[in-house]
Structure 1
Amino acid sequence: MSTGFDLLTHDQTLQKHWLKRFIAIVIDVFLIFVPVNIFMSVFGWTNDLLLFNLGGYISGFVWFIYSSILDYTANGTVGKLLMGLRVVSVRGRLEPHQSMMRNITKVFGLFLIIDFLVGMIVDTSDPRQKYTDRLAATSVISHREIPF
């Protein structure tokens, strides 16, 4: 049985898909974490280690809310849309609970990495899916080409 990693090493389209998703994450992280850290700096919260960790959790929660709302209302976050990607339901119309389920691992960044790894190791019926995409019956698809 082949894994998503086996497919990823040979399929250039899949490589491009995951590269676009990675760039989309970088864009979204910048849009969320920079303002949260600026907000924390304004209030002098950056010097306290406990509050810094709290800031990471706050940023993760904001990222979860941001991603859930935009995936549901616009079929993708700013990063995904800039990269020509869309979030779709594999069962018809995307529902709010599907959007929340696929984004829950964004609350803690390490969980997002684990989500990707498990998704690539477990079932490869759609190697474009993280594990929570499978649970939520969603997928991220390319809806337009971008030059790179």
Structure 2
Amino acid sequence: MELRFSSWYHWKSRNDYPGIAFPGIYVVLISEANVAGQPFSINDDVIYVGMTNAVAGLRGRLSQFDNTIAQRHCQHGGADRVLYKHQDYASLVSKLYVALWHVECTPAAETPMDLRAMGKICNAEYEVMAQCVEELGELPEFNRKKERPKFSLTHGRR
């Protein structure tokens, strides 16, 4: 399966992605260097791979990620693990980037075409995680659920 990810977007510019309203895959990385606009690649700076099939699309899922790391509402398990390690929101988002891939479909329609599109998204997430293991030797840091504690569970917030 060939996935054509966007170039890297700075976290604060994530909603500029043209397919942000659709379901898809997102890959998050932390970099001290400005990688905005650079081609997507799997590298050691990748910290999380995620997906959404929700009606709210990538915009909605990334908003949940952002709400969690900003400690507004705990809405995203992976982001809750990121928050455990990176509790200074301003510092984190200054070096946070995301690359995206989407499928144009209507999740609520439940037509055969839309259902197959959403299945493709699920498959694609696992494909990207498999590529991470092939290229990096392991899953991205915050996809390793057993190794990374959640902020909400250790600091009594939900």
TM over 0.5: no
Larger C-alpha radius of gyration, 1 or 2? 1
Structure of higher RCO (CA pairs closer than 8 Å, 6+ residues apart): 2
- The structure with the largest helix share of the pair is 1
TM-score with structure 1 setting the length: 0.28
TM-score with structure 2 setting the length: 0.27
